Amino acid sequence: MRKLRYLLLILLMLPCQSLPALEVKSGVIDGNAPAPFKIPNELTPLLKGYRKHWRRMTNPEQSGLHWNQGIIVYMNKGHKIYANNHEKYIKSLSEESDSSQAKNTFLTYPVGTILIKENYFVEDGVITVPASIAMMIKREKNYDNSTGDWQFVQFDPAGRIMVNGNNKNTAVATACTQCHQGIAVRDHVFSTHFANPAGRK
């Protein structure tokens, strides 16, 4: 029974786990350079200089969840919560772990937390060009109880917003919340391989 439980957990995990770190084409990603995405005007106050001032949570990786594209995750705050939840999630996959005990150790992000995933197209294991930015913004209580009060936003490299809102918006539900609703225990946030890249605070 324990082996079956473990196999089921692994199968559930597969779409969300990151694959090995990707090779990065020269000049595409440089933490000291401006992001290769135009920030929409209405989001500029929130995102200005995020590469310089926010913490980068991962190295470039391939994500089975985000259209199998290359991703890099940044956060404005809540870094310790992200690290805690990732660690507890990985531990919960162990045969020896008590899943109900693990659930009680997951933490909730504070209002104002913003997660950014820079998404890149990948060719032969190499990140090539920007695809989009996907964001989660933790909003005030009762913004959307069905997804932990997160606002979901995605925009293309030219700064055109593709989706924006909560689970009541059909485009957001289709592109974002249908997956994120399934991990309410971790405050609806998927964690990729947690890293603390050199040079990042």
Summarised one tens digit per residue, pLDDT across range 146-177 is 999 999 999 999 999 999 999 999 999 999 99
Per-residue pLDDT at 117 exceeds 90: yes
Q: For residue 121, tell me if it sits in a domain.
A: yes
Domain that holds residue 136: 2-186
- Give residues with Cβ within 8 angstroms of 127, minimum separation 6: 22, 23, 24, 25, 28, 29, 60, 70, 120, 121
pLDDT given at position 13: 42
For residue 61, how many C-alpha atoms fall within 13 Å in the half-sphere facing its CB?
A: 23
User: Is the Cα torsion angle 194, 163, 65, 190 positive or negative in sign?
Assistant: positive
Residue 193 lies in a domain: no
CA dihedral 59→108→105→189, nearest 10 degrees, is -40
Q: Note the pLDDT of residue 67.
A: 77
The 8-class DSSP code of residue 173 comes to I
Q: Is residue 28 part of a domain?
A: yes
Q: Does residue 192 lie within any of the structural domains?
A: no
Q: By C-alpha distance, which of 53, 61, 74, 156 is closest to 116?
A: 74
Q: What is the per-residue pLDDT for 23?
A: 72
Residue 140, pLDDT above cutoff 90: yes
Domain count, the chain: 1
Q: Report long-range pairs for 168-171 (Cβ below 8 Å, ≥24 apart).
A: 168/144
Of 82-86, 123-127, 130-134, 195-199, the poorest mean pLDDT is in: 195-199
Structure-token pair, residue 99: 């899943």
Per the domain annotation, does 197 fall within a domain?
Answer: no
Region 38-59: mean pLDDT is 93
Provide, rounded to the nearest whole percent, the portion of the chain with pLDDT above 70: 77
14 lies in some domain: yes
Q: Which residue in the block uniquely carries the two structure tokens 């294991």?
A: 125
Task: Report residue 126 as tokens.
Answer: 């190499």
Phi, then psi, of 167 in degrees rounded to 5:
-65, -15
Q: Could you tell me if residue 32 is inside a domain?
A: yes
pLDDT classification of 14: cutoffs 50, 70, 90: very low
Q: Is the pLDDT of residue 78 over 80?
A: yes
Flag whether 200 is in a domain.
Answer: no
The gap between the terminal CA atoms of the chain, to the nearest Å, is 43
Q: What is the mean pLDDT of the chain?
A: 82
**What percentage of the chain has pLDDT greater than the value 90?**
55
* Better-predicted residue by pLDDT, 192 or 147: 147
Give me the pLDDT at residue 6, please: 38
Band of pLDDT at residue 33, cut at 50, 70 and 90 = confident
Q: In which band, very low, low, confident or very high, does the pLDDT at 17 lie, cut at 50, 70 and 90?
A: very low
Average of pLDDT values for 25-53? 84
pLDDT band, residue 47 (cuts 50/70/90): very high
